[in-house]
Amino acid sequence: MEMEKEQFLKEFGKSYGYPDGPKSIDEIRATEFKRLANETVYLDHAGATLYSELQMEAIFKDLTSNVYGNPHSQSDSSMATSEIIKECRQQVLDYCNASAKEYKCIFTSGATAALKLVGEAFPWSSQSCFMYTMENHNSVLGMREYALNHGAAAVAVDVEELVGLCTSSIDKRTLFKVSQHTTQRRNGNESMGENTAGNACHLFAFPSECNFSGVRFNLDLVRAIKEQSGEIFKDTILTKGCSLVLIDAAKGCATEPPDLSKYPADFVVLSFYKIFGYPTGLGALIIRNEASKLLKKTYFGGGTVAASIADVDLVKHRDGVEESLEDGTTSFLSIASIRHGFRIVNTHNISSISRHISSLTTYLRRVLSSLKHDNGADVCIIYGDNNTGSMVSFNLKRPDGSWFGYREVEKLASLSGIQLRTGCFCNPGACAKYLGLSHLELLSNVEAGHICWDDLDIVNGKPTGAVRVSFGYMSTFEDAKKLADFIVSSFVVLPTPVSYRCIQESEVFLTEGSERMQKTTGLYLKSITVYPIKSCAGFCVDKWPLSKTGLVHDRQWLLRSPSGEILTQKKAPEMSLISTFVDLRQGVLFVESPRCKTELQILLKSVPYGCGREEIDLHGHRYEVQCYDQEVNSWFSNAIARPCILWRSSASNCYLKNQESTGMCRDMGSSLSFVNEAQFLLISEASVLDLNNRLRSKTSQSLQAQVPQVSAMRFRPNLVISGGEPYAEDQWRRIRIGSKYFESLGGCNRCQMINFDQRSESVHKTSEPLVTLASYRRVKGRILFGVLLRVEDCSLEKEESDSWLAVGEELHPDMM
């Protein structure tokens, strides 16, 4: 690290770390971002940057020392608030070098609200055109709904900068080329016609910085559109009328706010949490005075009008641009807070911030671009050009040219303490452009079930999104280096030593020195565990009956929130502290919790409780469920410290909802209780032992504190087996336990639930054992440990006394 940083500083020392500022980057991190000292690497500043702790202290002191009243009043506190708001409006204008004589600042609830305001108040007509670059956020695309609904045309365009042909500040006619995509229209308007009104208003929208690739647009485009629109738009439908320009600076403002004295855009939108982290829910629209006269706002609210009469159609709007365009009382406490954010930014200087961030971006692009697999194949495909502002967007490839899914990258990064962003970042045009996705492929992805924020990151062999790393003014070289090291250790296949990290699905998982033909003798069933309530603790038994859903009463109950969300330990870790036991002879489920004084007893006999029965859908299956009364629900709500409702599955009324809607469930052909993937999970003691050996070895090599050893029960298995070699179960196609037969459905994909340490009456989340498992048990984005089973029907057709599993029974596998 030290040597690499020394080399980095030789090249970027004049730009990195604020060498001429009041504080160095190390001092900034130590005094203003102490919450990052726990080795958290935050790399999603394009989504939301981090607020300074000094900034928040100043805000708290301000709000606790002053009285701010509603500005729509004449009291002293209200007048003081009005003055603060005026001061903040001027700060916003100054940030973009906008003259108060030419521009006004309108506060909104965010950049999206600012765009919505322009869209709904713009003077659209059937002769208008809304033109926007392909690289635009969904919030800009949403404006076209207003245009199309008013009969205007909408068209996406690509802008090409003709570098070198003409760069004169006087003649911009040949600097840009605009190429349009298909024209969109509604309401039966086929074309703009030959006699387009010369006074029709058009709107051209583009971002100052693309939030997908980080590519910065040349802001000379503003003057080119205004002064040379006939030349620039000669190959488009937009040839006559008045063209106004909107810049979406929500992302770009964090490093390079547009200079409106040089680039006189009509509308600029920004969001403050992307600049200095707090407040959220506050943005601004900077609007030219001349452009404001064109907007026709319909709604009025609160004190933004001079007068209105309740029972007569009369309203008199205020003369001020700000009051006429804002809705009711502004978020004046949040507005007062931005002064402290600007103070932080101005202390470091925006040009210094830009240079600091650019040095990290350049370094990371260079490192990622140089990565090669052992066969010489490129590891990283980076999107955008070298003028990429504050971010690097990329996807990763395997040695054979196939893609690593971006969700796999995100999950593994999270395990390593690295927070980044994946997907299309609400920018579908840029996503399709850089990933080379055609309209047909985009439609195919939707038909395959792909939506925003899902796990469907590869469809038909192509990525549906990307990985984005973005830096902020407090980011460090160490942040960038840790990200680069993570990519190398997790995704690059090196020549030596032999790596067991990424294994093809057809291969066997092997421990070092193991033979490919594993021993299968001496295997027996070590323990049986039943988990009556999904995600709560289970109980061990010596023997237990089987049913068509698996072990009798296994995961037959679950807890859901009042909003309908199924609760698990991921959302409610306290569920692990709820203990359960089923007494078959008494016909009672006993439930206890350290947070409840009384033991809860639930009859196994199905009887109506409270709300009766209803149907739910879960993992592609439809279940008829039994509900319980308020007393039962209150007990569980106290146990997990949040409102919840208990449901019980009626196994006889569980069926496959849709053959194509499988969700995460692997076993679609069987009757199931409330399981995620299959009826049974089997864990091998030998595999757990190998994992613990790796944990011990990892600890000794890194000189870290001792990593606690894990037991088989950490993985919530139904069946634990003893004997055999580690991971021999990966190759079992079918097994017999005693006289019962089970089919293997493959490996169990592990999640962060196995990182919850539940050894006491509290629950602690750690990074292990998932991090270690990810280093050698990863296949196509899944981290596998244990195998999923389903009982074969023939095992349930025997006498009732034979349909039991018992500890000690021998296990006989059939290999693949």
Beta strands 242-248 and 267-271, pairing class: parallel
How far, in Å, CA of 484 to CA of 753, rounded?
A: 27
Spell out the residues 6+ positions from residue 399 whose beta carbon is closer than 8 angstroms to its own.
373, 374, 375, 377, 493
pLDDT at 419: 96
Residue 173 has pLDDT above 90, yes or no: no
CA distance 659 to 349: 59
Least confident range from 120-129, 222-231, 271-280, 436-445: namely: 222-231
Q: Where does 215-290 show beta strands of DSSP type E?
A: 242-248, 267-271, 283-288
Q: What is the pLDDT, as a whole number, of residue 624?
A: 79
Q: Give the residue-averaged pLDDT of 772-781.
A: 89
pLDDT surpassing 70 at residue 273 = yes
For the stretch 218-247, pLDDT in tens is 999 999 998 877 777 776 666 677 899 999
pLDDT value for 492: 94
- Other CB atoms within a 10 A radius of the CB of residue 292 amount to 20
Residue 500 identity: Y
Q: What is the CA radius of gyration of the chain?
A: 31
796: left (phi over 0), alpha (psi -120 to 50) or beta: alpha
Mean pLDDT value across residues 53-57: 97
pLDDT of residue 517: 35
Report which of residues 477 and 801 the model is more confident about.
477
Which residue's entry shows tokens 């062999």? Answer: 461
Alpha carbon 521 to its chain's center: 47
Look at residues 296, 337, 301, 304 and name the one whose alpha carbon lies nearest to residue 322: 304
Catalytic residue among 129, 426, 654, 748: 426
Instruction: Choose the weakest-confidence range: 193-207, 384-398, 463-477, 502-516.
Output: 502-516
**Tokens representing residue 176 in the block:** 């840009």
> Over the stretch 713-755, which tens digit does the pLDDT of each residue have?
999 999 999 999 999 999 999 999 999 999 999 999 998 889 8
Q: 192: burial class by Cβ within 10 Å (0-12, 13-18, 19+)?
A: buried
pLDDT over 60 (residue 707): yes
3-state secondary structure 296-339: CCCCCCHHHEEEEECCCCEEEECCCHHHHHCCCCCCHHHHHHHH
The mean predicted confidence, pLDDT, of the chain is 87
- Which of 393-397, 399-403, 479-483, 626-630 has the least mean pLDDT? 626-630
> Residue 702: which pLDDT band, with cuts at 50, 70 and 90?
low
The rounded percent of the chain whose pLDDT value lies above 90 is 67
Identify the three-state secondary structure at position 230: helix
DSSP class of residue 397 equals B
Say if residue 75 is exposed, middle or buried (CB neighbours under 10 Å; 0-12, 13-18, 19+).
exposed
Q: CB–CB of 415/364 below 8 Å? A: no
Q: What is the pLDDT of residue 797?
A: 62
Mean pLDDT on 667-689: 85
Residues linked to residue 204 through DSSP beta bridges, in sequence order? 131, 245
pLDDT of res. 505: 38
Percent of the chain beyond pLDDT 70? Answer: 86
| Residue 129 a catalytic site member | no
Q: What stretches of 556-620 adopt beta strand conformation (E)?
A: 557-560, 579-583, 588-592, 600-603, 613-618
Residue keyed to tokens 């583009």: 206
Rounded to whole angstroms, the Cα distance separating 133 from 157 reads: 5
Ordered alpha helix ranges (H), 66-110: 76-95
Q: What is the pLDDT of residue 353?
A: 97
- Write down the pLDDT at residue 170: 46
Q: In 391-403, which positions are buried (b, 16+ CB within 10 angstroms) versus exposed (e)?
A: bbbbbbbbbeeeb
In this prediction, residue 95 carries a pLDDT of: 98
Tokens for 501, please give them. Answer: 């990290």
The pairing of strands 283-288 and 267-271 is antiparallel
> What is the identity of the amino acid at 673?
S
pLDDT of residue 324: 86
Give the pLDDT of residue 512: 40
Average pLDDT over residues 110-120: 97
pLDDT of 340 higher than 70: yes
CA distance 779 to 504: 6
Instruction: Give, as one character, the DSSP assignment of residue 498.
Output: P
CA gap 360, 9 in Å, rounded: 11
Distance in angstroms (rounded) separating the CA atoms of residues 507 and 517: 13
Going by pLDDT thresholds of 50, 70 and 90, the confidence category of residue 518 is very low
How many Å apart are CA 137 and CA 163, to the nearest integer? 26
pLDDT at 767 over 90: no
What is the torsion angle, in degrees rounded to the nearest 10, for the CA atoms of residue 82, residue 86, residue 89 and residue 93?
A: 180
Token output for 61: 């002191």
Distance CA 379, CA 376 (A): 9
Cβ–Cβ < 8 Å for 628, 600: no
Task: Tell me the whole-structure pTM to 2 decimals.
Answer: 0.84
Q: Residue 700: what pLDDT? A: 67
Residue 403 main-chain phi, psi, to 5 deg: -95, 145
Most confident of 290-304, 549-563, 783-797: 549-563
In the predicted structure, residue 416 carries a pLDDT above the cut 60: yes
pLDDT at 139 over 50: yes
pLDDT value at residue 649: 87
Contact 96, 286 (CB under 8 A): yes
Is 331 a residue whose pLDDT tops 60?
yes
- b/e burial code for range 503-521 (CB count within 10 A of at least 16 → b): beeeeebbbeebeeebebe
Q: Which residue has the higher pLDDT, 623 or 579?
A: 579
Q: How many other C-beta atoms lie within 10 A of the C-beta of residue 60?
A: 12
Q: Are 722 and 781 in contact (CB under 8 A)?
A: no
pLDDT at 515 over 70: no
CB burial string 118-130: b at 16+ within 10 A, e below: bbbbbbbebbbbb
Three-state DSSP at 420 gives coil
> What three-state secondary structure class fits 350?
helix
Mean pLDDT in residue range 570-583: 93
Confidence at residue 798, expressed as pLDDT on a 0 to 100 scale: 59
* pLDDT at residue 450, rounded to an integer: 81
C-alpha–C-alpha distance, residues 512 and 555, integer Å: 37
What is the model's pLDDT at position 800?
Answer: 55
Residue 653 has pLDDT above 90, yes or no: no
Please determine, for residue 529, whether its predicted confidence score (pLDDT) is greater than 80. Answer: yes
158: closest CA among 138, 134, 130? 134
pLDDT at 804 over 70: yes
Q: Which residue(s) pair with 732 in the sheet?
A: 815
- Distance in angstroms (rounded) separating the CA atoms of residues 256 and 269: 14
Confidence check: pLDDT of 560 > 80: yes
- pLDDT value, residue 612: 61
According to DSSP H, which parts of 99-258 are helical?
111-121, 138-141, 144-149, 220-227, 229-232
pLDDT category, 110, cuts 50, 70, 90?
Answer: very high
Contact (Cβ atoms closer than 8 angstroms) between residue 523 and residue 812: yes
